[in-house]
Structure formats: C-alpha cells, structure tokens
Amino acid sequence: MDPRPTFLSIVVPVYNEEGAIDLFLGRLRPILQQQELGGYEIIFVNDGSRDKTLAVLEAHARQSSDIRIVDLSRNFGKEAALTAGIDHATGDAVIPIDVDLQDPPELIAEMLARWREGYDVVLAARNDRSSDTRFKRVTASLFYRIMLRLSDVEIPAQTGDFRLMDRRVVEALKLMPERARFMKGVFAWVGFRTSTIYFKREKRQAGEAQQSLGKLVRLAVDGIVSFTSLPLRIWSVIGAAIAAFSLLYMMFIVVRTVFMGADVPGYASLAVLILFFSGLILLSIGVLGEYLARIYIEVKQRPLYIVRDTQNFSNRMEIEGAEARHKAETGIAE
C-alpha cells in the first residue's frame, strides 16, 4: 500500500475569471476523480475580482463540498492570493494551478506518481512557450539568465507556480515571513527532493491575461532584489574603479597645468563628466531605495492578505488533523 496519505489540495487564484471557471472545473474534476486519492479539495482564492467570479464560485460551492472559497478583501496580486490558498490548504500534497488552463491539469497524475516515489516537490517546466507572445518569451528568458548569474539559489528556468508540494514543503514555506513575495524564489530557497516534468504551455482558454506588464516587471524587480544583493554591492566596485581612474586623471591635469599652464577650454569634458556621474549617483541611490523600501515594508509587518470570508471550510480540520481525517476517510492508519 502507498506509504503516503493522499488528501490533495488544489489551489487556484482567480481574478476576474467568471468565464474561465466552468471550463477549468470541467477539465480538472474528471482528472482528480480518476486518481486514487483519499479525497481532494479545490480552493479558489478570489483575489478581489470585480466581475461575477465570486457568484460563479459560490454557485459551485453550494453544489459540491470539494469546492472551497477564500475571498480576499481586495486585489492583493497573484503571489499573495497563492499564499492565502496555500495557507488554507489542508492536503498532504498541494498543487497551485492557474485557472486559465495554461497549466494542463493532466499533469497531475504524473505529479502524484512522482510524489509517491518519494519526491517532495514535482515541478512542471514548460519546454515550449510558443503560445506566449514573443516579447514575453524573450523577457522571461533574459530574466532567468540574469537571476542564474546573480543569485545563489538556483531558480529553475521555465517553471511557473504549477507544481506539487508535499505537506513538509508547505510547512517550510509558511516559515518564510517575507512580505515581498517572489514565490518562485521562495519555492527554490526551501529546497527538498525535486523532480521535474516537461510540458508545452497552452494558450489561455478563456478571459484575458490578468497579469499586466507592469505587474510582471514589478515581479521581476522583486525577484532580483529579494534574492540577490549584487545590485547593492556592485556600486562599491564601480565606485572604486571610478575613484582610481579619477586619481590618474587628476595627476594628469596637475602635471599638465604645471608644465603647459592653465587652459580654459574644457567645458565639454566637464559637462559630460558631471552628467555621467550624476546619472550614476542617482542610479545607485535608486538601488538603495529599492532595498530600503523593502526593509520598510518588511518592518511594518503587515499581513500579506486579508480574508473577507471563507466558504465550505466548515468541515476543515486543522493541519495536524490532516492525518486524522485521512484515517477517517480511508480507514488507513499511517
């Protein structure tokens, strides 16, 4: 018999996705029902949607108890919504997934198989992003290359949030208190035994992409700033190099003035130098600001998200109850 209990939590952040939910459930449910599971829950985190998303979810939740809703008080962004869902998940394994079916739910079977083999994390990596726009592909690959150089945790390229995590990994994630969440980095930081499945990323099945360019840029900056300190340190190297160069230049000017007398022309070079160095200084202050802003945010210790309401969690047991519930549902002791 399988040594691991198998209550599965699926975590789905949704923001203005009224049109995507039915399609999503239609494809996900049969797959979950085919698996040999002790039970499963699908936790939708409504990330402050402005359309009828909540109403659609509530209709589903009334019909079946496998649907649970965490309704956030406003739009906190995908990373926070994901955290909220993972915090509420009671499963022995947790799988975050996008509602737009860009992460094929069919992979769940293979994820569970590898998990049963003993892997704590099963990553789904896209080896083909032809469905994404060219711009997104280029920027994403650039971002991963930069991160690989800069950071000491290895963030696996081409993976999204779609992955299976064992309960142990989820508990480790919860220990990470940081506010500026770059989930991919946080996931990589906690480590554990990891296996990777490759798949082709599909087109969005319904609705519009909700992650705007601005949000993705913000996320990239978050990723770099929260997982490397190179942008901070690089200024001492640049500063030292420039100081050394200026010293040489200064000696050159002094010697030249002594031997050839003062020469007044030189306006152009001065202007260029002043502009160049003011630019550098402003840039380095900006980098300091990025880190300072983050320190400020962390120090405030605000919660990552606020829950307005939850539904269908009445039958939920606390984390330590996951085992007990598993026994109750399957009659199998650990």
Binding site for ligand UDP (CB under 6 A): 13-15, 17, 47, 75, 77-78, 81, 98-100, 102, 204, 209-211
The one of Mg ion, ligand UDP, none whose footprint includes residue 49, by CB under 5 to 8 A per kind, is none
Give one word for 204, left, alpha or beta, with left for phi > 0 and alpha for psi -120 to 50.
beta
Does residue 307 contact residue 69 with C-beta atoms inside 8 Å?
no
DSSP 8-class letter at 103: S
Counting every residue, how long is the chain? 334
Q: Is 68 exposed, middle or buried (0-12, 13-18, 19+ CB in 10 A)?
A: buried
**Residue type for 107, please?**
L
The one of Mg ion, ligand UDP, none whose footprint includes residue 47, by CB under 5 to 8 A per kind, is ligand UDP
Helix (H) or strand (E) holding 199: strand 194-200
Tell me how far apart the alpha carbons of residues 16 and 146 are, in angstroms, rounded to a whole number. Answer: 32
The one of ligand UDP, Mg ion, none whose footprint includes residue 92, by CB under 5 to 8 A per kind, is none
Of 5 and 13, the one with the shorter C-beta distance to ligand UDP is 13
| Minimum gap (Å) between residue 77 Cβ and ligand UDP | 5
Of 68 and 326, the one with the shorter C-beta distance to ligand UDP is 68
- Return the number of other C-beta atoms located less than 10 Å from residue 319's C-beta: 14
| Minimum gap (Å) between residue 132 Cβ and Mg ion | 9
Strand bridging mode 93-96 / 67-72:
unpaired
The position carrying tokens 């009224």 is 18
The one of Mg ion, ligand UDP, none whose footprint includes residue 13, by CB under 5 to 8 A per kind, is ligand UDP
Binding residues for Mg ion, rule: CB under 5 A, are: 100, 102
Of 15 and 40, the one with the shorter C-beta distance to Mg ion is 15
| Minimum gap (Å) between residue 232 Cβ and Mg ion | 33
The one of Mg ion, ligand UDP, none whose footprint includes residue 107, by CB under 5 to 8 A per kind, is none
The one of Mg ion, ligand UDP, none whose footprint includes residue 66, by CB under 5 to 8 A per kind, is none
DSSP output for 128-174: E-TTS-HHHHHHHHHHHHHHHHH-SS---TTEEEEEEEEHHHHHHHH
| Minimum gap (Å) between residue 145 Cβ and Mg ion | 22
Of 176 and 209, the one with the shorter C-beta distance to ligand UDP is 209
| Minimum gap (Å) between residue 88 Cβ and ligand UDP | 14
Of 24 and 227, the one with the shorter C-beta distance to ligand UDP is 24
